[in-house]
A and B are shown apart, each in its own frame.
Chain A
C-alpha cells in the first residue's frame, strides 16, 4: 500500500469517526513516547496511521527522545494543536500533514488533523468551533472563504487561542498570520509562463476545482491578468470537489477538446487528475501544467507530459504553522505569528529529476525521515 493510499484510507476512517469525535465531551488523549533511534522508517507511518485512523477522536503526540525543546523553552506541558484542512484526504495535503507531524514531534506537541474532505464550509466551521470549544492551544487552518470564518476566529481570539492560516488566506478573518504563497502572484506567473509557451497565442482550457475557494479565485484572477494581451484565450472549466469528480470531469473533457493548444490546472488535485488523463490517452505532446507535486504530477513531469508544476512548499506550510503556534504559546504571545511567503517555484522536467530520484516526507512521496532513494 502506498503512502497516499494509506492516508486516503485513514481519512476515510477519520470521516467515519468525526461525528463521534465531535460529540465527545473531551478529547481522548493518546500519548506515545516513541524513541527514535532504531524505530526507523515505520515510525512516521505509524504516526500518521495513528492520527489518521483514529481521526479526530485521538490526539497524536510524539517527541523525539532527547529533544531539547521542553528545556529550551521551559515548557513541560504538552501543547495541543488542531490543524484544519478543506481537503483532508487530498494527496496535495500529504506533505502538509507530514510537516505538522514532524514539527509536533520536534517540540513535543500533540495535534489533530480535521476538516472536510470536499471543501464543505459547514464541516470546516464545525471543526473550528469544536477546537475552540476544546480550548486547544492553537489552530492552523485553511481559510477558503473571505467571510465565512470570521465568527469562529473571533471566538478563538476571545478564548485566547492563536489562529494561523496556511495554504488559503482570508486576510480579514482575524487570523494572526498567513503561511503560504501569494495566490494572485503565482497565478500571474503561471499566466506569463503559459503566454511564453504559446508565443503565437492559442485556446487553452484551465481546470479549477469548485466552489468559491478564495485561494483559487485569486490564482485565477492572476492567471487572467498574466494572459491579458498574449493572444491566449482560456476557457475555464470547474472540475468539482473530490478526486473522483475531478478525474471524471477531466477524463471526459480532454479527449473531446484535443483542438485546444494546452490544458492547465489551478489546483493540485485537478493537476493530478490532468496528469492521469494525459498519461491515459498517451499524448505526451499536449501542452500542460499546474500546481503542486503530487506523485502523479511528478511522474508526468518527468515523462514530459506536463511542462511545469508550481511548488508552494506544502510541507513547510504545515511545519512553520506548528512552530509559530508553539512559539506563540511558549513566549506568552510575545513572538511567533508572522506572514511567510512560501513562494511559487516552477518545477519542470529537469527540475523534477531530484524529486523522482528520492522519496521524502517533504513532497509526500515517502514516509521515512529525510531523503530516501526512490
Chain B
C-alpha cells in the first residue's frame, strides 16, 4: 500500500518534459482520454507495481469476510458503528503521526499527548475552573502546541534524533499526566468525568437525527461531486490532464453508495443516526489535506521529507518546517484526546498511550504513508484506522485474548509493509 504520491505536485509540474513514452510507463492514466483507456492504464499501473491503496482495500475486505463468517454479529448495525467509532481515535492519532512520518521522522509521544491534552481539557471544563468547552479545547491545544514546539525545536535545532526526543517526550507526558491529575482533589484516583451535557461528551456519544444524517451525507457527496467536476473542468480548460468524466462519475457513485450504506446502518442502530465524531474526523482530514496539498507550508513538509538538503538549498526554512510539523502532531494528538475522552465519558491517567502510539504508526503505514518521508496522504489514515479497528474489534468479538490481538495486529501491520515493499520492488524492477 503506500499510495504512489508524488511530493505534492503542483499543477505546473504536470506540464512535464517527459516524453509520451516515458509517461506511459510512469503514469499511464495521464494520457487516458476515455474511461476504457483509464481503466486499462490503471490495470497497467497495478501490473507495474503501483497498486496504491488497492491491496489494503482487498485485505480489509478479506478480513471482514473472515470475521463475518466467524461471527454473524460482526456485521450487525451496532458493531459496524462501533468499528467506525472505535477507528476514530486511531485515525486522529494516525493523522498526527503522518505530519511527522512525512518528514522521515517519528513521534512516539502522541499517545500520551492525547492523554495530557484530554486531561487538560477535562480539568478546564470541570469544576472549579468551569471554562466553556470550546475554550477548554483551545487551552488543551495551546498546552500541546507548546510541547510540540519544544520537541520540534530539539529535533530541528539541536539535530537530536526524533526517536529519542519523543521517547523522552512520552515519558515526560506520562509524568505530566500524573502531576495534573494530582492537582485535582475531586478526580477519583486520576479519573475525571466529562459532563454528559457537554458537547465534548456528545461528540462520540451523541448522534445526529436520522434526517440530519441523510442531509449531511447528501450534502457531502454533492459537494465532493461538484468539486471533482469543477476541478476537472478547470484543469481541462487550462490544457492540463484530467481523468475522463466516466472515472469522476464512478468515484462520485462510489462515494454516494458508501454514504447511503453509512446512513442506513447508522440510522438502524440504537441510538439512531450518525455519531457527531464522524463528520468531525472527516472535517479534520479535509482541512489537513488542504493544508498539506494547497498551502506553501504543507508542500514544504513533503519537500523536506523527500530531500531535506535539497529543500534547504531551495531556500526552505527546514527548521521551522520541522518544528511546525511537530506542533501539528501534538495539537492533533490533543484532538485525539478529545475523541478519546468523549468515547470514554471520562479522562483518566490509565490511557494506554504506549499502545495507542504504536497503533498510530500502524494506521499511517497501513494507510500508505512511507516511513522514509515525503510520501503519504491524510485521507488514507481513514483506511488505516478502519483496518486497525476491524482487527481489534473482530478478534474481541471472537473472544480472542489481548495477547493474540496484539500478535494479529502485528501480523496485519507487517503484511501491509511487506506487501508495500514487494510491489515497490517490482515497480523498481520495471
Contact = CB atoms under 8 A, between A and B. Distances in A.
Interface stretch (B18-26, B162-170, B291-299, B342-350): B342-350
A237 interface: yes
B396 A235 contact: no
Contact of A253 (B187, B345, B392, B402): B345
Given A210-B191, A252-B345, A258-B396, A233 B185 contact: no
Interface residues of A, number: 41
A248 to B, nearest CB: 7
A249 B187 contact: no
Q: Which of B85, B345, B348 has the most CB of A within 10 A?
A: B345
A220 interface: yes
Interface in B214-228: none
A45 to B, nearest CB: 35
Given A211-B193, A259-B393, A201 B401 contact: yes
A34 interface: no
A341 to B, nearest CB: 21
A301 interface: no
B350 A233 contact: yes
Contact of A252 (B86, B205, B350): B205
Contacts, number: 111
A80 B190 CA distance: 39
Given A198-B401, A238-B346, A258 B193 contact: no
Given A235-B352, A236-B350, A258-B396, A216 B402 contact: no
Report, as a range, how many residues of chain B touch the other chain. Answer: 35 or more
A256 B82 CA distance: 6
B365 to A, nearest CB: 22
A233 B352 contact: yes
Nearest to A147: B185
B401 A211 contact: no
B175 interface: no
A202 interface: yes
B397 A221 contact: no
B79 interface: yes
Contacts of A236: 189-191, 346, 348, 350
Interface string A236-273: 11111000010011001101111111000000000000
Contacts of B350: 224, 233-236
B79 A258 contact: yes
Contact of A256 (B85, B346, B396, B404): B85
Contact of B186 (A210, A216, A220, A259): A210
A260 B345 CA distance: 15
Contacts of B289: none
Interface string B348-378: 1011100100000000000000000000000
Contact of A258 (B189, B348, B397): B397
B246 interface: no
Interface in B316-356: 343-346, 348, 350-352, 355
A44 B309 CA distance: 86
A220 B346 CA distance: 15
Interface in B9-49: none
A232 B352 CA distance: 11
Interface string B181-198: 000011111111100100
A213 B186 CA distance: 8
A370 interface: no
A208 interface: yes
Given A235-B348, A258-B397, A249 B188 contact: no
B3 interface: no
Contacts of A202: 401-402
Contacts of B396: 203, 258-261
Contacts of A208: 188-189, 191
A200 interface: yes
Nearest to A148: B185
B403 interface: yes
B255 to A, nearest CB: 26
Contact of B189 (A216, A239, A260): A216
A231 interface: yes
Nearest to A214: B188
Contacts of B186: 210-212
Contacts of A237: 191, 344-346, 348
Contact of A212 (B188, B196, B344): B188
B73 to A, nearest CB: 9
B152 to A, nearest CB: 30
A110 B404 CA distance: 60
B78 interface: yes
Contacts of A105: none
A232 B402 contact: yes
Contacts of B344: 235, 237, 253
Contacts of B399: 285
Contacts of A199: 401
A259 B82 contact: yes
B345 A203 contact: no
A314 to B, nearest CB: 20
Contacts of B189: 208, 216-217, 220-221, 236
Contacts of A231: 402-403
B83 to A, nearest CB: 9
A6 B79 CA distance: 40
A212 B82 CA distance: 31
A258 B188 contact: no
A210 B401 contact: no
A208 B190 CA distance: 11
Contacts of A245: 196
Nearest to A219: B189
B346 A211 contact: no
Nearest to B348: A236
A243 B403 CA distance: 35
Interface in B105-130: none
A317 B123 CA distance: 35
A-B pairs with the 3 shortest C-beta distances?
A200-B401, A238-B193, A259-B396
24 contacts: A198-B401, A199-B401, A200-B402, A203-B396, A208-B191, A210-B186, A210-B193, A211-B187, A211-B188, A211-B192, A220-B191, A231-B402, A233-B350, A233-B352, A234-B350, A235-B351, A236-B191, A237-B345, A237-B348, A249-B196, A255-B82, A259-B392, A259-B396, A259-B397
Given A201-B403, A211-B193, A236-B190, 5 more contacts: A202-B402, A232-B402, A234-B350, A236-B346, A261-B402
Interface of B: 78-79, 82, 85-86, 185-193, 196, 204-205, 270, 343-346, 348, 350-352, 355, 392-393, 396-397, 399, 401-404
